Amino acid sequence: MSRPIKKRTVQEPPKIQGMKPIGVPASFLDKVILSIDEYEAIRLADYEGLEHQKAAEMMNISRPTFTRLIEKARRKLAESIIAVKELVIEGGSFSFISDLIRCLDCGKISRFEDPNYIPETCPHCKSANIVHLNQWFSGGRGHGRGGRGFRGGRGGW
């Protein structure tokens, strides 16, 4: 029997819930599911350029586990691009450190470290038309208001 997967620490939720190839209707596409922790591994290693040991420490996992995670994530990204599949970001065992909101009027994204304070309006333009990005992903801290999702419940803004 395998050990249960412990929650991986993720700095913040992804700013999107997925991507699809331009010019191909979603109904024609198969999906590749990239978990939140795989997304975080890509962000830390490939976007931030961190060494595997440092990235593993930030996610509260071992270096070998991080290496397996990043390899799996890279294969999924390659599959999405090469096989022309929709990339959906969801699932995994994780907890967020900070919260993000996106204003649907000005488009700005704001980060909040205090889980007890999520604003009712955009700090930039004061609009109340905001989306709490943490709520898009189950398993996060999940407080604040819900928002529009990606494609009729799951997405775009």
Q: pLDDT of 40-64, one tens digit each? A: 999 999 999 999 999 999 999 999 9
- Work out the average pLDDT over 73-98: 95
Structural domain boundaries in the chain: 1-97, 98-146
DSSP label of 121: S
Q: Decide if 53 contacts 46 (C-beta within 8 A).
A: no
| Residues 125, 107: Cα–Cα separation, whole Å | 10
* pLDDT tens, residue by residue, 109-132: 999 888 778 888 999 999 999 998
Rounded to two decimals, the pTM is 0.81
The helix/strand/coil state of 122 is: coil
What is the arithmetic mean of pLDDT over 66-73?
98
CATH of 98-146, one of 3.30.1560, 1.10.10, 2.20.28, 1.25.40: 2.20.28
- Output the furthest CA–CA distance in the chain (Å, rounded): 53
Provide mean pLDDT across the span 22-41: 96
pLDDT over 90 percentage in the chain: 69
Give the helix/strand (H/E) hosting 110.
Answer: strand 109-112
